[in-house]
Amino acid sequence: MRNARVWARMLGLQKAVVERVDFHEDQDTLVASVRPARGYRRRCGICGCRCPGYDQGAGRRRWRALDLGTLMAYVEADAPRVNCPDHGIVVAAVPWARHHAGHTLGFDQQVAWLATTCAKTAVTQLMRIAWRTVGAVISRVWADTQRQVDLLDGLTRIGIDEISYRKGHKYLTVVVDHDTGRLVWAGPGADKNALAAFFTRLGPDRCVRITHISSDAAGWIREAVAQHCPQAIRCADAFHVVAWATDALDELRRAAWNHARGAARGTSRANNRNHRPTGDTKALEHARWALWKNPEDLTERRHEQISWIAKTHPALYRGWALKEGLRTVFAIAYRSPTEAIEALDRWISWARRCRLAPFVKLARSITRDRDAIIAAITHRLSNALIESTNTKIRLIIRRGFGFRTPTAIIALAMLSLGGHRPSLPA
């Protein structure tokens, strides 16, 4: 037909011949009848190899193309089947769309770019598709990207963490590269088997090249690393270690609060019925913010609460001092790792004899992971990068108003944070 090249360019078709263009005014649609160019016929839809023809298939088929102004555009062509020696009888490949896709390559590319940039409502309304379709598109685009690039090549220092993507203990295990700052792998689950899937894909040859691994002190991470990368130096994240101390301090505060509450209520069941927190009970309840915050961030009122705790609850104040002492250990690490290691050993000795059960237990946990904590201090490696990545993944989840399955969110997170973001077509 005349102007066939113009129509092919407008529809984003390559290696295809436009035979006819029909405009359906009642439906506001444009349908272009096309055929693959001579050198791209009778190819397997999976591997792309030339194959003998099998039959004409189920007839003509349509693919959604990018809109032309206000018109919805479609590409229509025959869908014959070929007999591939490796994959059997499959639909022949077409140069303008992926196998098993109902959209052209340009359409997929634009949807993927929008999904990494815009919110769910904007993508669905602009492209006039369902959100479920967006998930299928980004999965296809990410699968193609995986075949073109290897994000696991050249890894030496990595960070490992888990993130919840849905209520009901639905987690993802994520791995980032400390040298490039990119997300290199994500998989469903947060256990030893989930992390083993990453090391299996990495392969034994590349596992031995891993020199440093930062993570929290979760047992499943420690076991998986010891099994697959025993030569790697494991660095326990300082933020999580201080978080343990904060949890131990909060356990002390709740015990003091329960003791004060029981003393205020007395033993009479009648008094327990309509009792409201007063006195020490109310003060301890409100003091948790003062106990959690760093001293330099406390207001004058919070300083007064700490002073009140020092006078009335010496055990709780001693726990607060232990928490701040552990935080100081990691603050010193930026100035002098040697001093920080000495301070850590002094803190462990102090915690062992503090006669506060939560901190005695914490001292045992820190002693168990002492080598990993010292490695984090010496090599100055933390999970700050991966926590930043987790925050961005949470934003992706929020932008999509949640995901039912991990497949789409993994694909979208990898496209957004893996260093290979999709570009707009043409």
Per-residue pLDDT of 165-201, as tens digits, reads: 888 788 999 999 999 999 999 999 999 999 999 999 9
Fold observed for domain 104-237+382-426: Nucleotidyltransferase; domain 5 (3.30.420)
**Packed helices 337-352 and 357-368: angle between N→C axes, nearest 10 degrees:** 140
Q: What is the largest CA-CA distance in the chain?
A: 97
Q: Are 236 and 206 in contact (CB under 8 A)?
A: no
The one-letter amino acid code at 12 reads G
Residue ranges matching CATH 3.30.420.10 in the chain: 104-237+382-426
**Residue-by-residue DSSP string for 177-206:** ETTT--EEEEEE-SSHHHHHHHHHHH-HHH
Predicted pLDDT of residue 125 = 93
Across 223-237, 261-275, 358-372, least confident range = 261-275
Per cent of the chain over pLDDT 90 is 66
CA-to-CA dists, residue 195 to 91, 108, 181, angstroms: 37, 31, 19
Cα angle 287-288-289, degrees, rounded to a multiple of 5: 90
Whole-number pLDDT of residue 334: 85
Cα–Cα distance measured from residue 189 to residue 171, given in angstroms and rounded to the nearest whole number = 5
Q: pLDDT higher for 342 or 270?
A: 342
Using pLDDT thresholds of 50, 70 and 90, give the confidence band for residue 415: very high
Q: Quick one: which of 81, 83, 95 has its CA closest to 13?
A: 95
Residue 274 confidence (pLDDT) above 60: no
Stretch 378-384: mean pLDDT, rounded? 91
Identify the pLDDT of residue 275.
47
In this prediction, residue 354 carries a pLDDT of: 93
Pick from 18, 22, 24: nearest CA to 2 = 18
Segment 347-368 mean pLDDT:
95
pTM of the model: 0.82
**What is the distance between the alpha carbons of residues 81 and 54, in angstroms, rounded to a whole number?**
5
**pLDDT (average), residues 96-123:** 92
The dihedral formed by the CA atoms of 172, 178, 180 and 182, expressed in degrees to the nearest 10: 10
